[in-house]
Amino acid sequence: MIRRLCACLLGSASLAAAEPFSLDFPVDCTLGETCYIQQYVDHDPGPGARDFTCQGMSYDGHKGTDIALPTLAAMAQGVRVRAAAPGVVRARRDGVADRLHDGRDLAGKDCGNGVAIRHADGWETQYCHMRQGTIAVTEGQEIAAGTVLGEIGLSGRTQFPHLHMTLRRNGTVIDPFAPENADSCGSGATLWQDPPAYRPGGLLSLGFAAQVPDLAAVTEGSADDTPPRRDTALVGYGHAFGARAGDVLRIVIDGPEGRVIAHDAPIEKPQATLFRAAGRKAQAGGWPAGDYRLTVTLRRGADPLETRATTLTLR
């Protein structure tokens, strides 16, 4: 089991002489488009949480980097996980079901399906929450950077599809974004070959619906499966991550005859992910035919963190 083995190393396989250690990005996705980083390593030694930039994209005791997918539909399409560096597979697990964690005891399988890889000079990477039936490597296998390990899943202790990658050296957790100075607040060395851009929050998806969707539909990616018609309500929704208290999610719909709605939804507490929706019932005679533009903005203070827009044509 990965969680029980993570403190010890297999000694039967040899590795090449130590070289400067660096990491490739371990997921076949495009940050900011098809995936995003949900949480970073917690650098706060106390009960609080702060990431390597001294902001709040973490939680108390978090020991890895969470690379997340926006919906379960994206997970179902298959998103490959790759080895971030060359090494030898120390441990692997498969067979844990993909499902939202409901609080039950996982009997030491919090990581779900995963792989642990031993690298040179005491380094180790661990990959968790992978999709059942996709683990593609075996214990003792020597692999290159970029070798496919499996796919992102929903196994173990998780509420959203993502890869949790933990980096250790000689058993100590290391943040690849700040390996030398936990108090650097974003400056200094990194272990990434191509450092991923830091996003302090942003939008995951937006869309039109004929009624206010529920959270399950949004996270499944099915919220806009039944789009509005001219005789139904006209609703716009936004799905965001990394929100803080005081942020505002603004939802605006403009139609062929002017503005339909402009709604500001204040965020009252930090939320890893959230969605808000706003709309209006169909007016007498139905909505005018034409194009309707939905614009969603996540705003922090005076600054928009991200704005996205989409268009619906009613005929």
> What are the pLDDT digits (tens) for 204-232?
999 999 999 999 999 999 998 889 999 99
Q: Tell me the average pLDDT across 19-39.
A: 94
User: Which pLDDT does position 19 carry in this prediction?
Assistant: 65
- For residue 12, pLDDT over 50 is answered with no
- For residue 243, pLDDT over 50 is answered with yes
Domain boundaries of the chain, sorted by first residue: 2-174, 202-314
User: Which pLDDT does position 149 carry in this prediction?
Assistant: 98
| 124 Cα distance to chain centroid | 22
User: Which pLDDT does position 105 carry in this prediction?
Assistant: 85
Q: Tell me the average pLDDT across 233-240.
A: 97
CATH C-level class of 202-314: mainly beta
- For residue 11, pLDDT over 80 is answered with no
User: Which pLDDT does position 180 carry in this prediction?
Assistant: 85
Closest to 254 (Cα-Cα) out of 309, 205, 315: 309
User: Which pLDDT does position 182 carry in this prediction?
Assistant: 62
Q: What pTM did the predictor assign?
A: 0.88
- For residue 1, pLDDT over 60 is answered with no
Percent above pLDDT 70 for the chain: 92
Q: Would you say domain 2-174 falls under CATH 2.60.120.10?
A: no
- Domains 2-174 and 202-314 are alike in CATH topology: no
Q: Which residue has the higher pLDDT, 283 or 5?
A: 283
User: Which pLDDT does position 7 carry in this prediction?
Assistant: 33
- For residue 14, pLDDT over 70 is answered with no
Q: Tell me the average pLDDT across 36-65.
A: 94
Q: Tell me the average pLDDT across 139-168.
A: 97
> What are the pLDDT digits (tens) for 186-209?
777 899 999 999 999 999 999 999
- For residue 15, pLDDT over 70 is answered with no
Q: Which residue has the higher pLDDT, 131 or 9?
A: 131
Q: How confident is the model at residue 234 (pLDDT cuts 50, 70, 90)?
A: very high
> What are the pLDDT digits (tens) for 91-150?
999 999 999 888 888 899 999 999 999 999 999 999 999 999 999 999 999 999 999 999
Q: What is the mean pLDDT of the chain?
A: 91
Contact 279, 233 (CB under 8 A): yes
Q: How confident is the model at residue 5 (pLDDT cuts 50, 70, 90)?
A: very low
User: Which pLDDT does position 172 carry in this prediction?
Assistant: 96
User: Which pLDDT does position 287 carry in this prediction?
Assistant: 97
